Every structure is written in structure tokens, then in C-alpha cells.
Amino acid sequence: MAFEDLERHLIALGIAPTGEAFAPIDADVVAAIERHAGGRFPDVMTWFFGRFGGSRFDDGALYVDPTGGEEVMIGWFLDGKELADAFEAFAEVLPPGVVPIADDGGDNMLCVGIGDDNRGTVYFHPHDRPRPATYQVAPAIEAFMHSLHREVVGND
């Protein structure tokens, strides 16, 4: 398997592999989105869809938003139906070749580029702002996933 380190990291953060709780995302759903968006998901996302499907972290996971340097919680990764629905719902407001993959819990989307010029780039799209509100969060999805972390609680 090509993503052993990433799998260990994500499981340590409390995400569950597919099984009883989460089902893999159907390859037909992924292929339909790729066809309509005119690109292809990065290999790590195809792996993730099959291994973790639509899933969430038990205790949450955070990333650092580059616009303000603050930590932001990721809500959940979209399951197959949510992925298809979000792609359709946001197609008109997202840049070409950008597909929603996760919701932060407030209807704001984390997205990934699947086009030739942006494949793997991670974007944030706030639900309540018009274009061009979408902005880059990380240059590569695999590095972004490796950067996810738990909240550090001080000993005050």
C-alpha cells in the first residue's frame, strides 16, 4: 500500500477505516464527478475514498488556515451521496476543476483540485460569500492530510 504512513496518521487522529460505520465511495460516483469536472482526483483521494469513505474524526482534527494563521476544525469527509450532491450544488460557484470533499460543520467546504493545473491543491470555500471567495489552503492534499492535528491543550 502506498499510503501506510498517512493511514497511521489519520487513524491516530481518530478516523475510522471503512467498515461498519463508513462505506467506501462508489467508484462510479468518483468517475462521474471526474467526467463532469474534466479532471481526475489525485491518487491519494482515490485511495482515501476507498479506505475511509465519508468519515469523521472522533475528537475532531484541525488544520492551520493560511489567511489568518488560526486553527480550523475539519468537520467530516463527504460520503458518496454528499460528494455528488455538493459537487452539483457548488459547481457554479467553485473555480473550474475544484470539487468539495469535506464540510466543516457550518456548510463551508474543503475542496480539492482535480484539473491538470491544480490537481491536489486544497481550497476552502465559505458558503456565505460570492465568488471569488474560494482560496488555497495547501498546495498538496497529501501534505495537508499529514498536517491535520488535534488541539493542543495547555497545562494552565
What percentage of residues in the chain have a pLDDT greater than 70?
90
If you average pLDDT over residues 140-144, what whole number do you get?
Answer: 96
- More confident call, 70 vs 152: 70
Residue 36, C-beta contacts closer than 8 angstroms, at least 6 positions apart: 87, 91
Q: How many CA atoms lie within 13 A of 116 on its CB side?
A: 1
Domain architecture of the chain: domains with CATH: 4-147 (3.40.1580.10)
- More confident call, 130 vs 138: 138
Q: In the prediction, which pLDDT does 75 show?
A: 85
Instruction: State the Cα–Cα distance between residues 53 and 37, nearest whole angstrom.
Output: 20
Going by their DSSP bridges, the two strands 135-138 and 122-125 should be labelled as: antiparallel
If you average pLDDT over residues 105-134, what whole number do you get?
Answer: 86
Instruction: State the Cα–Cα distance between residues 138 and 124, nearest whole angstrom.
Output: 9
pLDDT tens digits, one per residue of 13-54: 988 776 666 789 999 999 999 999 999 999 999 999 999 988
Residue 128 neighbours by CB distance under 10 Å: 8
